Amino acid sequence: MMKFSARFEGRFPHVIVVGGGFAGLELVRQFKNQPFEVTLIDKQNFHTFQPLLYQLASGGIGPDGIAYPLRKIVGVIPNIRFRMAEVQSVDLVQKCVKTNVGTFPYDYLILATGAATHFFGNKAIEAQAFGLKSIQDALALRSSILLRFEKAINASSKDERLSHLHFVVVGGGPTGVETAGALIEMKQHVLPVDYRELDASEMKVTLIEASPRILAAMSPTSSERARLDLEQMGVEVKLGVAVQSYQSGVIRLSDGENLKAETLIWSAGVKGAFPEGLDASLVGKSNRLMVNRYLQLQSHHDVWVVGDVALVVGDEQYPNGHPMVAPVAVQQAKIAAFNIKSQANGKPLRAFKYRDNGSMATIGRHKAVMEAMGFKLSGILAWLGWMFLHLMLLVGFRNRLIVFINWMWNYFSYQRAIRLITRQDVFTGQNQKSAYQNENQ
């Protein structure tokens, strides 16, 4: 085994990985103890397990179950170091990455910078709606949901009260479906116990999807099953309508209907997120960076792009790009690592081909849909399978244990134990929060 010193010596090619998401973690695994010096850069000091953010927002689990310190992973690997830094720009000509803590030159650059909530240019919605892409987003939403219940008690009219108790989720993908399900379970199990002063039947959850069905990545059978489950639990599902505007607590829909709601959760779209300094000619659909089938930028074969931010050009099976999900990110990370090692050794590269292992979404207690290897599953078995797979995908035994205990607790008590309002300051929506962060950093 090779020996590496704590400080890099430049004996080996320097690989910079930007982003500690699913792809970033897989890259760490692939480069561990290999003849490369690797710098992992992320603006947070932890990996976020995004698929469970909705449970953080609804008080089912705490941040410590789904966030994992990146240094805990990287700390013990001699040839990999971590830098908590905000990447300001990438210079493809000088081959360096500029960050708020200094400039890092690279031999190989891998962008695994993920995706951000896509508001399709609607600034008013962006300023007021909640996204669900980060721990901070989810904590802000948790505080806001619970504050709405408090405000409903003190409302001066029934109209105002109903508006506080109406939660509108936009986007019928897995995140939207799971969030709507979690909210309606709060109506069933939290509201009647914690808020005797309120009439729980006044709480309302609406799920809005612009296309004709939810969970469009799954079969029509699973979509229909999920819709029926949601409706049976009390969610109003509106299909084939889009949100046009959100002004003074009124959501205007494309079919002319107006919904009054103080809370709008936006899971209707994501777009690639990447640093400045990359030419517009590199950017394709959904703001993703276009790469060849080896996952390289066409113009710069020392730059690799993986995960949500990558748009593979020339894969006829996925002409609009691969789905922005963890399995794609992990599989691409493996190929990118393999190809960088091959390129360094003058060996042939391998093209990326996505192996789709299926898809799933949980709806509520004993309710989920799952499709894998040609099988369709729903109900309690799919629900148990969903939980098992998510536990296994969490990073580290401690986090699995903590999430498992919370799930058991929630299951048997019917509660969401962590209903804490820790962020009174951010309840008005994510944009106020961002504005503050920008000012004060």
Residues that bind a copy of itself (CB under 8 A): 6-7, 44-46, 62-64, 67, 69, 71-72, 75-76, 81, 83-84, 101-102, 135-136, 139, 146, 150, 153-154, 193-197, 398, 401-402, 405, 409, 413, 415, 417-422, 424-426, 428, 432, 436-437, 440-441
Question: Shortest distance, CB of residue 375 to a copy of itself, whole angstroms?
Answer: 36
Give Cβ neighbours of residue 88 (< 8 Å, ≥ 6 apart).
Answer: 98, 99, 100, 275, 276
One-letter identity of residue 324: M
Cβ contacts of 61-64, under 8 Å, gap ≥ 24: 61/402, 61/403, 61/406, 61/407, 61/418, 62/402, 62/406, 62/418, 63/135, 63/138, 63/139, 64/399, 64/402
Give Cβ neighbours of residue 337 (< 8 Å, ≥ 6 apart).
Answer: 26, 27, 30, 31
The residue among 41 and 290 lying less far from a copy of itself, judged by its C-beta, is 41
Phi then psi for 168, rounded to 5 degrees? -110, 125
Question: Shortest distance, CB of residue 11 to a copy of itself, whole angstroms?
Answer: 17
Give Cβ neighbours of residue 248 (< 8 Å, ≥ 6 apart).
Answer: none
Question: Shortest distance, CB of residue 133 to a copy of itself, whole angstroms?
Answer: 15
The continuous run of DSSP H or E covering 24 comes out as helix 22-31
* Cα separation, 385 vs 381, whole angstroms: 6
The residue among 124 and 405 lying less far from a copy of itself, judged by its C-beta, is 405
Q: Is 224 a catalytic residue?
A: no
One-letter identity of residue 410: N
Question: Shortest distance, CB of residue 122 to a copy of itself, whole angstroms?
Answer: 23
Active-site entry in 26, 37, 178, 262: 178
The residue among 273 and 312 lying less far from a copy of itself, judged by its C-beta, is 273
Question: Shortest distance, CB of residue 342 to a copy of itself, whole angstroms?
Answer: 29
What is the β-pairing status of strands 258-260 and 303-305? unpaired
The residue among 263 and 406 lying less far from a copy of itself, judged by its C-beta, is 406
Structure tokens that stand for 150 in this block = 């408090």
The residue among 232 and 437 lying less far from a copy of itself, judged by its C-beta, is 437
The residue among 114 and 272 lying less far from a copy of itself, judged by its C-beta, is 114
Question: Shortest distance, CB of residue 420 to a copy of itself, whole angstroms?
Answer: 5
The residue among 44 and 287 lying less far from a copy of itself, judged by its C-beta, is 44
Question: Shortest distance, CB of residue 94 to a copy of itself, whole angstroms?
Answer: 20
The residue among 68 and 386 lying less far from a copy of itself, judged by its C-beta, is 68
Question: Shortest distance, CB of residue 194 to a copy of itself, whole angstroms?
Answer: 4
Q: How far is CA 214 from CA 189, 349, 368, in A?
A: 25, 38, 13
Per the CB < 8 A criterion, the answer to whether 170 and 208 are in contact is yes
* Cα separation, 292 vs 310, whole angstroms: 10
* Cα separation, 265 vs 129, whole angstroms: 6
Burial class (CB in 10 A: 0-12, 13-18, 19+), 63: middle
**DSSP-assigned states of every residue in 138-164:** HHHHHHHHHHHHHHHHT-SSHHHHHHH
Q: What are the residue numbers of the active site?
A: 178
